[in-house]
Amino acid sequence: MASVSHDSGALCFATEALRLMSSSNYDVIVIGAGPGGYVAAIRAAQLGLRTAVVEQAHLGGICLNWGCIPTKALLRSAEVLHEVSAAAHFGVVTPGAPTLDLKAMLARSRAVAQELNAGVGFLLKKNGVDVIWGTAKLRGNAAIEVEPPAQTGRQNPGPPKEAHGPGRYTAAHIIVATGARPRTLPGLEPDGKSIWTYFEAMLPPSLPHSLLIAGSGAIGIEFASFYRALGCEVTVVELLPEILPAEDAEIAALARKSFEKDGIRIFSGAKVVEVKRGEDDITAAVEHGDGRRQSITAERLISAVGVVGNVEGLGLEALGVKLDKGLIVADGVGRTNVAGIYAIGDVAGGPMLAHKAEHEGVICVESIKGLDVHALDKLRIPACTYSRPQIASVGLTEARAKAQGRQVRVGRFPFRANGKALALGERDGLVKTIFDAGTGELIGAHMIGAEVTELIQGFVIAMQLEATEEDLIRTVFPHPTLSEMMGESALAAYGRALHIPPAGRASG
């Protein structure tokens, strides 16, 4: 009996050892559960690969928890405030002026983020992806060591109850998807009190009376728009000659005009060179292009001067993974120069957008599986800024197309000539399309106005299908809709617009 018991115990021990060993071995391990990471993990599992994802703070990453989603919830609150304030214009009489409840607004934003955070955990579980909770470091090109996560001090839903803990894990393929964090400039180091990054800007303890924003990319402009809608005095300082430097110059100029009309002060071709922190404010020295200095005092300063990749502490240097300007160098399917190591999303370079990261994750995993894939065409990745007015674009700007020596035809159609826009009370805006004059191919589209972040996908699909002006002109757009302006813009590029007079037609 003893002999049988001993053999049975040994068998149980061996079985448990094999179970633990197999539980730490994967086909694919993804480091980082942001949009790129969790989508890559789900796609890998769909393809039958044993997959795990390592996360140290938030399922869904910065985008879902502190970026794309909660900021849009805040901007929606600002939009509702604007609509209610303008209710009388639509024949709706309210008892009095709307009252701002900042606490409720912030709580709603966090609730939306937390709901989606839980949703990511549910998706990973249902697809059979293991979650490993902690901070990962590469131990060769096929292994990682996971340590307990560092405390961030921010709201954190924590790991799902099924999450695996610290330990050593192996995989034939390791995908780095660690994302990026706010860039810090000397003298503008955030302290969480007088100088904020987007983390603090989304959870202000109270509404500041005045705000200085350094940087006018999408993050800076969205916060400028949000806080101005809430009644704050907002000043934006941009180093480059114009705001929204990645956008078409004509669209950026219209955006500036609209922001300034709403009361946002904008200084372009200028930089913050010094900041003095007071008891409850900051005083910034702003240097203009001509060397003139100006002193600006505000209660808070938001530093929105870009982001940097999270490459530190991963063990990349020890493996010889190639870096360039603080980012991982990867090819069109995510492969680095070290076999078995891949990189996707912000940490692999721009454009630093969640939807770009997601598609890179899918392409990378499908390449690992041996499927026929094509590298992501970055010219066909749309960009959106969710300010008021919204800005959206895809493809070449007019200036960039001409700089490449292309002959172009440019179509423009204004919101004020669209029936649905007038019915909505959204008469300010423009749809601009750029075609190759020789082939007629749509090579760029740029929009400003209501709901253009939804409209832009029509042009993205058209570019993906290599549509020409004839394809767009022959497309039937429903009436009355904002989307009709897309077809009219294509018509305008070829002198055929139907709902603007001949003098309003523009081609170049």
By annotation, the residues acting in catalysis are 479
> How do 143-147 and 442-449 pair as beta strands?
unpaired
Token digits of residue 311: 């490459």
To 10 degrees, what angle do helices 35-46 and 102-126 make? 20
Report how far residue 150's alpha carbon sits from residue 162's, in angstroms, rounded to the nearest whole number. Answer: 20
Report how far residue 103's alpha carbon sits from residue 90's, in angstroms, rounded to the nearest whole number. Answer: 29
Query: With contact defined as beta carbons under 8 Å apart, do 227 and 234 qualify?
Result: yes
C-alpha dist (Å) from residue 69 to 20, 35, 74, 363: 37, 11, 9, 24
Report how far residue 486's alpha carbon sits from residue 475's, in angstroms, rounded to the nearest whole number. Answer: 10
Q: What is the CA radius of gyration of the chain?
A: 26
Q: Is 394 left (phi over 0), alpha (psi -120 to 50) or beta?
A: beta
Query: Closest Cα partner for 184 from 199, 169, 174?
Result: 199
331 CB contacts (<8 Å, ≥6 apart)? 375
- Name the amino acid, one letter, at 45: A
Length of the chain: 508
Report how far residue 467's alpha carbon sits from residue 410's, in angstroms, rounded to the nearest whole number. Answer: 15
